[in-house]
Amino acid sequence: GAVVSQHPSWVICKSGTSVKIECRSLDFQATTMFWYRQFPKQSLMLMATSNEGSKATYEQGVEKDKFLINHASLTLSTLTVTSAHPEDSSFYICSARGTSGRRIVDTQYFGPGTRLTVL
């Protein structure tokens, strides 16, 4: 149990375009989802936290107008990178925690990640 998927697994786009990444919890209800980015040979850096039906909370230094997060349902969150530039190229990973029936899924389970390359 506790499976999280991401789509797409990789995307290449031109500078100035917008890219949407989906994160889905497949077998539990994700009351909270987290978005991270990871640069090569570095650890995960939290970008934002989103609770279902609420506005996302962004970490210091993360531009909320550039990285739009929507958590419209208990199984889906999306991250839209608007007007992408080459410096936005990175590995974006989501995670989720929530409930499955009466069980609290307290652990954050991670998706497989999305590799974004902006040309």
The residues binding another protein (CB under 8 A) are: 2, 4, 6, 32, 34, 42-44, 46, 49, 91, 93, 95, 97, 106-113, 115
- Nearest by Cα to 48 from 29, 23, 28, 73: 23
Q: How far is the CB of 16 from another protein (least distance, A)?
A: 26
Q: Among residues 82 and 89, whose Cβ is nearest to another protein? A: 89
Structure-block tokens of residue 104: 């609290």
Q: Among residues 64 and 115, whose Cβ is nearest to another protein? A: 115
Q: Rounded distance, CA 57 to CA 44, Å?
A: 17
Q: Among residues 32 and 80, whose Cβ is nearest to another protein? A: 32
In this structure, are residues 116 and 13 in contact, taking their beta carbons and an 8 Å threshold?
yes
